[in-house]
Amino acid sequence: MGKKQTARDQLDDNFEIEQGQVYARSLGPRGNHQHEVEFIDGEKKLVTLPPRFRNVVWLKRGHYVIVDPTVGISEKVGGEIVQVLFPKHIKDLKAAGKWPEEFSDPKTEPVQQQPLTKNDMDQDEDEEDDEDDLFVNNNRPVMSDTDSSSEEED
């Protein structure tokens, strides 16, 4: 299946979950095209992203997927991602009553950005004045002023 067909299938609204496939939420990538997912029952496993999706779909922490746990089972890998669900798919599944209640919890849904109001923008301007909020590069050693002042006194 080519790249165009794979992309078209991912964006298609008419998909059916087959026998043995389950919904899961991505907890993040673990490298080598493997992602840790949490199933409806709370179980966490590594699943693989098949080669046909690798340059077509990007899977991030908090995204929902359909996993086939019977494919690609090994000691470390517990299944294969069959479909990446977009917000449009989730909305349609909720409307049809097919979305699991465990993932409908507001605590478990990924946080979506809210539009900023005027008051929020004013608070952001005040916060910009604080030096504590400045970006700190953790890759550079911190040079403290106390070391340099003691050297000058000698």
Task: For 62-76, write each residue's pLDDT tens digit.
Answer: 999 999 998 877 888
Determine the average pLDDT of the residues in 89-109: 80
Determine the average pLDDT of the residues in 9-24: 81
Determine the average pLDDT of the residues in 35-57: 91
Q: Which residue has the tokens 């929020």?
A: 120
The domain made up of 19-103 is a member of CATH 3.40.718.10: no
First CA to last CA distance, the chain: 73
Flag whether pLDDT at 54 surpasses 90. Answer: no
Look at residue 115 in the predicted model and tell me its pLDDT: 47
CA distances from 11 to 6, 32, 57, 94 (A): 9, 25, 10, 17
DSSP count for the chain of H helices, then E strands: 4, 5
Q: Are strands 44-48 and 34-39 parallel, antiparallel or unpaired?
A: antiparallel
Any idea which of 37-41, 47-51, 125-129, 131-135 has the lowest mean pLDDT?
A: 125-129
Which residues lie below 8 Å from residue 20, measured CB to CB, with a gap of 6+?
68, 69, 70
Band the pLDDT of 52: cuts 50, 70, 90: confident
Flag whether pLDDT at 149 surpasses 60. Answer: no
Flag whether pLDDT at 146 surpasses 80. Answer: no
CA distance 124 to 110: 23
Band the pLDDT of 125: cuts 50, 70, 90: low
Flag whether pLDDT at 151 surpasses 50. Answer: yes
User: Can you tell me whether residue 134 is helix, strand or coil?
Assistant: coil
